[in-house]
Chains A and B, each alone.
Chain A
Amino acid sequence: MTEMGGTPIPHAPGFVANDTPRIVTARFDYEDSHTLERYEATGGYRGLRKALERTPEEVQTQVRDATLLGRGGAGFPAGVKWGFCPPGVWPRYLVVNGDESEPGTYKDRLLMELDPHQLIEGCLIACYAVGLSQCFLYIRGEMAVAQERVARALNDAYSAGYIGKNILDTEFSVDIILHWGAGAYVVGEETALIESLEGNRGMPRLKPPYFPASIGLYGQPTIVNNVETLSNLPWILEHGVEAFTGIGTESSPGTRMVAVSGHVQRPGVYEIVNGTTTFRDLLYSKEMCGGIRDDNQLKAFVPGGGSAPWFTADQLDLPFEASQVGPQGSMLGSGAIMVMDETTDIPAAALTLTKFYAHESCGKCVPCREGGTWLEQILRRVVDGRGTPRDLELLIEVGETICPGDFPHAAIPSKGIEAVPFPYRMTTICFVGPSAFAPIHSALTLFREEFEAKVAGNENRTMIEVAVDVR
Chain B
Amino acid sequence: MKFFSEENLELADVIISRYPKPRSAMIPLLHLAQEQVGWVTDDAMAEIAELVGTTSAEVLGTCSFYEMFKRHQVGTYVINICATMSCALMGAEELMEHAERRLGVKAGGTTADGMFTIEGAECQAACTEAPCLQVNYRHRYRVTPDEFDSIIDELSSTDHNVPDHGVLSQIRQHIPEDRFVGAVPPGDVASAPVWMHDEGVD
Does A238 reach chain B (CB closer than 8 Å)?
Answer: no
Q: Is the CB–CB distance between B137 and A267 below 8 Å?
A: no
What residues on B are CB-neighbors of A208 within 8 Å? none
Residue A418 lies at the interface, judged by CB distance under 8 Å to chain B: no
Are the CB atoms of B86 and A261 closer together than 8 Å?
yes
Determine if A8 and B130 form an interchain contact, defined as CB atoms under 8 angstroms apart: no
Q: Are B89 and A349 in contact (CB under 8 A)?
A: yes
Smallest CB separation, B15 vs chain A (Å): 9
Who on chain A is nearest to B167 by CB?
A144
Interface of B is mostly: loop
The answer to whether B196 touches A56 (Cβ under 8 A) is yes
Query: Would you give the 0/1 interface string for A89-113, flagging 1 where the beta carbon is closer than 8 Å to chain B?
Result: 0110100000011111110110000
How far is A197 from B19 in the complex, measured between Cα atoms in Å?
10
CB pair A131 B201 closer than 8 Å: yes
Instruction: Write the nearest CB–CB distance from B193 to chain A, whole angstroms.
Output: 5
Which residues of the partner chain B approach A218 to less than 8 Å between Cβ atoms? 20-21, 185-186
Determine if A6 and B85 form an interchain contact, defined as CB atoms under 8 angstroms apart: no
What's the nearest-Cβ distance from chain B to residue A58, in Å? 9
Determine the chain B residues whose CB is within 8 A of the CB of A100 once the complex forms. 125
Q: In whole angstroms, what is the CA distance A322 to B28 when docked?
A: 37
B161 sits at the interface (CB 8 A): yes
User: Is A128 in contact with chain B by the CB < 8 A criterion?
Assistant: yes
A62 proximal to B (CB < 8 A): no
A181 touches B89 (CB 8 A): no
Interface residue B199 (Cβ < 8 Å from any Cβ of A): yes
Contact of A183 with B66 in the complex, beta carbons under 8 Å: yes
- C-alpha gap A143/B168 in the complex (Å): 8
Q: A2's closest neighbor in chain B, by CB?
A: B161
Whether A144 and B123, one on each chain, are in contact in the complex, defined by CB atoms closer than 8 angstroms, is no
Tell me the chain A residues, 335-366 only, with Cβ under 8 Å from chain B. Answer: 336, 338, 340, 344, 348-349, 352-353, 355-356, 359-360, 362
Give per-residue flags for B80-95: 1 if the beta carbon is below 8 A from chain A beta carbons, else 0. 1001111011100000
Residues of chain B lying within 8 A (CB to CB) of residue A131: 192-193, 195-196, 201
- B126–A14 touching, CB < 8 Å: yes
Q: Are A88 and B137 in contact (CB under 8 A)?
A: no
| Cβ–Cβ contact A91 & B27, under 8 A | no
Binary CB contact string for chain B from 51 to 75 against chain A (1 if under 8 A, 0 otherwise)? 0101000000110011111000000
How many angstroms between the C-alpha atoms of A147 and B28 in the bound complex? Answer: 13
Q: How many interface residues does A have (CB within 8 Å)? A: 98
A463 at the interface (CB under 8 A from B): no
Query: B174 touching A9 by the CB < 8 A rule?
Result: no
CB distance from A215 to the nearest CB of B (A): 11
B85 touches A349 (CB 8 A): yes
B196: chain A residues at CB < 8 Å are 56, 131
Q: Does B124 make an interface contact (CB < 8 A)?
A: yes
B51 to A: closest C-beta gap in Å: 11
Distance between Cα atoms of A217 and B61 in the complex (Å): 20
CB distance from A36 to the nearest CB of B (A): 14
Query: Chain A residues with Cβ under 8 A from B24's Cβ?
Result: 197-199
Q: In the bound complex, what is the Cα–Cα distance between A144 and B129 (angstroms)?
A: 17
Chain B: minimal CB distance from A304 (Å)? 13
**B194 lies within 8 A of chain A by Cβ:** yes
Whether the Cβ atoms of A268 and B137 lie closer than 8 Å is no
Given contacts A128-B195, A131-B193, A218-B185, contact A164 B123 (CB under 8 A): no
The 8 Å CB contact of B190, one of A6, A90, A154, is A90
Question: What is the CB-to-nearest-CB distance from B90 to chain A, in angstroms, rounded to a whole number?
Answer: 7
Q: Is A170 among interface residues, defined by CB-CB distance under 8 A?
A: yes
Complex contact A143–B199 (CB within 8 A): no
Q: Contact at B199–A57, with CB atoms within 8 Å?
A: yes
- Asked if A155 CB lies within 8 Å of chain B CBs, one says yes
* Residues of chain B with a CB closer than 8 A to A172's CB: 195
- Whether the Cβ atoms of A102 and B123 lie closer than 8 Å is yes
For residue A166, give the distance in angstroms from its CB to the closest CB of chain B. 9
A2 to chain B, nearest CB (A): 5
Asked if B169 contacts A144 (CB within 8 A), the reply is yes
* B18 close to A (CB within 8 Å): yes
Chain A, Cβ-Cβ closest to B163: A2
In the bound complex, residues from chain B placing their C-beta under 8 Å from that of A109 are: 125-126
A420 CA to B138 CA in the complex, in Å? 41
> Does A158 lie at the interface of the complex (its beta carbon under 8 Å from any beta carbon of B)?
yes
Give Cα A93–Cα B184 distance, bound, in whole angstroms: 9
Interface presence of A460 (CB below 8 A): no
A272 at the interface (CB under 8 A from B): no
Cβ of B6 under 8 Å from chain A:
no
CA gap between A220 and B20 in the complex, in Å:
12
User: Does residue B1 face the partner (Cβ distance < 8 Å to A)?
Assistant: no
* A145 B138 Cβ-Cβ under 8 A: yes
Expressed in whole angstroms, the Cα–Cα distance for A353 and B122 within the complex equals 10
Which one of B52, B127, B175 lies within 8 Å of A104 (CB-CB)?
A: B127
Does the CB pair A133–B128 fall under 8 Å? no
Given contact pairs A144-B168, A182-B27, A353 touches B85 in the complex (Cβ within 8 A): yes
**Other-chain contact of A201, B25, B65, B158 (Cβ < 8 Å):** B65
Chain B residues with Cβ below 8 Å from A165 are 178-181
Is B125 in contact with A106, judged by CB distance below 8 angstroms? yes
Q: List 7 A-B contacts (CB under 8 A).
A: A55-B198, A105-B127, A131-B192, A141-B68, A199-B25, A306-B85, A352-B83
The 7 closest A-B pairs by CB, nearest first: A164-B179, A183-B67, A182-B66, A199-B26, A147-B169, A261-B86, A261-B127
Q: A164-B181, A198-B21 are in contact. List 10 more A-B contacts (CB 8 A).
A: A2-B170, A7-B160, A56-B196, A104-B123, A104-B127, A109-B126, A133-B193, A147-B168, A159-B176, A362-B65
